[in-house]
Amino acid sequence: MNLMDLLDDVGGASSVSKMGEGLGLDAESTSSLVAALAPALMQGFQKQTESPDGLASLQQALAGGGHQKYLDDPDLIASAATTADGNNILGHLFGTKDVSRNVAAQAAQSTGLQDMLIKKALPMLAGITMAAMSKKSNAGADANPDLGSLLGGIDWGDIGVDDMLNMAKKFF
């Protein structure tokens, strides 16, 4: 499963569309943006599951973070609170703002979209991804979602952003 499939499975397409609209992107550019950012985001989530503390922290965030609201109400995507939440998620996934900046720069290079636009999208997409994982793992009802199988079942695929992914790997 890739990130777009995960989002489709849990009804996240409208949230992604709302993000794109808020950034002034058409559907094709939004799709390209998600495809460019997905490997680094998903690898960050997978990395969290590799240590007991990281896994416990992620499970707690999925169960109690209230992230599903980004799927239930796509209008929340453009709010300052969503950006702040997304930046917190990115902090856990990437560790430093420098990694987020580098991921955004590589995505800009691969998509042709402006770096600043991608920097705005990254926290929104992190929140949407967290919401999708929460909903897919039934974290709202299950305090112990099977994240290993959820993340292990994601097909990273070759979406043409190998350079970005390899660069992001150096920071994990």
Task: Please say whether the beta carbons of 1 and 28 come within 8 A.
Answer: no
DSSP-based three-state secondary structure for 144 = coil
pTM: 0.80
Structure tokens at 69: 């609201």
Q: What is the pLDDT of residue 138?
A: 67
Q: Which of 61, 37, 34, 39 is nearest to 49 (CA)?
A: 61
- Using a pLDDT cut of 70, give the percent of the chain over it: 79
pLDDT tens per residue across span 85-141: 999 999 988 888 889 899 999 999 999 999 999 999 999 999 999 999 888 876 445
**Rounded Cα distance, 153 and 25, in Å:** 29
pLDDT digits (tens, 9 = 90+) for 13-59: 889 999 999 999 999 999 999 999 999 998 888 888 888 888 888 88
Structural domain harbouring 23: 3-169
d(CA 117, CA 131): 22
Q: Do residues 110 and 163 make contact, with C-beta atoms less than 8 angstroms apart? A: yes
Tokens of 149: 């199988």
Instruction: Quick: pLDDT tens for 48-72.
Output: 888 888 888 888 888 877 888 999 9
Residue 4, pLDDT score = 75
Number of domain units in the chain: 1
pLDDT at 160: 33
